[in-house]
């Protein structure tokens, strides 16, 4: 569900950026960037379709042959929920089941033109409902901790990829010599519904350093890498208390938190951030594997980690 939301937010971001063609140098590049960011370029490329809103949005949202599409995410979430019904409340199940039922019957026309934001809002609202029902109806036992571990690891991965799209754009702009442009950073804030939060925290104009800080090391932004990994560590501590053993992955989570705090800034930040984000994505994925290993998910369920098993 977290991935479905992120995909919808990224599509929204590209929609917004492509509406500013003059600013960003053409429609194609934005849709190309989000395909790249989502790791879906290789799946889209063989289709030989033009990279534009209609084709990319349809591929990312409705295409049942794309395992990362919103439709497939909802389907996978439903399958996982079905297999773990006892870990979920009826409310959570119904949200997931309805999401799957609703998107299956959505017309392909909804990815055209101005109909797209309405579809994206529907996806984002559905995931918000999912999160809300979890908050309001799931027991705060180990199942809740595993659910949150899955959500936070997935979200950290998504945020890192989002930042990477912006950072790549920053580098291109820098090469073109137009140093005053910050629309891409503003778009990232819009995509995550974080504009107000940003201004409340920084009380200053949008700039690369501050937006990077907001998404990387900020302690109170629920979509910062720090916040996500800190949450992972907190839930691992809950499990440590409950199970009376210290899982090795808790040390890995703490190491990842230290790593985040070394995020480069200032001069040369764009290149440094590229490397940082690439390393973060790798370490975060490794952490997911370590958690799965520590709690026996691989043994019990044949090689599936908690991010996919427990995150509806």
Partner 1 sequence: MTLGTGIPKEGDLTGVSASSKVHNVSKSSYDGAFNEMRSNGQIRNLYENVHRWINEQGVGTLLSKTEEAEALFRRIGITFAVYGANSDPERLIPFDLVPRIFDASEWERLSQGVAQRALALNAFLKDVYSNGEILKAGIVPESAVSHSAGYLDLMKDFNPPGDVYTHIVGTDLVRTSRDTFLVLEDNCRTPSGVSYMLENREIMVRMFPELVAGDAIQPVNSYPQLLRRALEWVKPAKCGGRPSIVLLSPGPYNSAYYEHSFLADEMGIDVVEGADLFVDGDLVWMRTTEGPRRVDVIYRRIDDDFLDPAQFNPESVLGVRNLMDAYKAGGVTIANAPGTGIADNKAIYPYVPDMIRFYLGEEPLLDNVETWRCSEPSQCQHVIENLSDLVVKRVDGSGGYGMLIGPKATAQEKQDFVERLRRKPEDFIAQPTLALSTCPVLVEEGLAPRHVDFRPFAIVGDGVELVPGGLTRVALKDGSLVVNSSQGGGVKDTWVLAS
Chain residues binding partner 1 by CB under 8 A are 79, 82-83, 85-86, 90, 93-94, 97-98, 101, 142, 146, 239, 242-243, 295-297, 299-300
In the complex, least distance from residue 284 CB atom to partner 1, rounded to whole angstroms: 21
Q: Output 96 or 216, the one with its CB closest to partner 1.
A: 96
Q: Output 44 or 146, the one with its CB closest to partner 1.
A: 146
- Enter the tokens of residue 137: 């109806």
Q: Output 114 or 139, the one with its CB closest to partner 1.
A: 139
Closest-CA residue to 234 (of 167, 159, 144, 306) = 144
Closest-CA residue to 155 (of 227, 89, 206) = 227
Q: Output 240 or 275, the one with its CB closest to partner 1.
A: 240
In the complex, least distance from residue 299 CB atom to partner 1, rounded to whole angstroms: 8
Q: Output 12 or 306, the one with its CB closest to partner 1.
A: 306
In the complex, least distance from residue 304 CB atom to partner 1, rounded to whole angstroms: 13
In the complex, least distance from residue 255 CB atom to partner 1, rounded to whole angstroms: 23
Q: Output 163 or 239, the one with its CB closest to partner 1.
A: 239
In the complex, least distance from residue 139 CB atom to partner 1, rounded to whole angstroms: 11
Q: Cα(first)–Cα(last) distance of the chain, in Å?
A: 6
Q: Output 103 or 165, the one with its CB closest to partner 1.
A: 103
Q: Output 23 or 83, the one with its CB closest to partner 1.
A: 83
DSSP one-letter string for 228-246 = HHHHHHHHHHHHHHHHTS-
In the complex, least distance from residue 85 CB atom to partner 1, rounded to whole angstroms: 4
- Enter the tokens of residue 81: 């929920």
In the complex, least distance from residue 74 CB atom to partner 1, rounded to whole angstroms: 14
In the complex, least distance from residue 94 CB atom to partner 1, rounded to whole angstroms: 5
């Amino acid at each position: 569900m977290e991935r479905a939301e992120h995909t919808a937010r990224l599509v929204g971001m590209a929609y917004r950026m492509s509406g500013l063609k003059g600013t960003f140098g053409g429609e194609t590049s934005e849709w190309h960037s989000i395909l790249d960011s989502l790791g879906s370029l290789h799946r889209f490329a063989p289709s030989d379709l033009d990279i534009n809103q209609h084709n990319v949005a349809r591929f990312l949202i409705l295409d049942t042959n794309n395992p990362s599409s919103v439709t497939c995410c909802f389907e996978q979430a439903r399958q996982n929920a079905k297999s773990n019904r006892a870990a979920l409340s009826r409310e959570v199940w119904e949200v997931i089941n309805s999401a799957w039922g609703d998107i299956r019957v959505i017309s392909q026309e909804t990815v055209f033109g101005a109909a797209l934001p309405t579809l994206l809002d529907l996806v984002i609202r559905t995931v918000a409902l999912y999160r809300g029902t979890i908050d309001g109806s799931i027991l705060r036992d180990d199942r809740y901790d595993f659910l949150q571990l899955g959500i936070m690891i997935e979200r950290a991965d998504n945020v890192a990829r989002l930042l990477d799209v912006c950072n790549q754009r920053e580098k291109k702009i820098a090469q073109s010599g137009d140093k005053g442009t910050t629309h891409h950073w503003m778009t990232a804030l819009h995509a995550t519904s974080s504009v107000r939060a940003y201004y409340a925290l920084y009380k200053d104009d949008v700039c690369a350093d501050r937006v990077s800080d907001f998404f990387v090391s900020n302690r109170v932004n629920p979509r910062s890498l720090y916040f996500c990994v800190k949450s992972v560590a907190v839930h691992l501590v809950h499990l440590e208390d409950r199970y009376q053993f210290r899982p090795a992955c808790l040390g890995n989570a703490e190491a990842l938190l230290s790593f985040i705090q070394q995020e480069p800034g200032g001069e040369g930040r764009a290149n440094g951030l590229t490397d940082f984000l690439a390393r973060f994505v790798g370490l975060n994925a490794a952490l997911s594997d370590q958690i799965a290993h520590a709690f026996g998910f691989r043994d019990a369920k044949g090689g599936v980690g908690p991010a996919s098993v427990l995150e509806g």
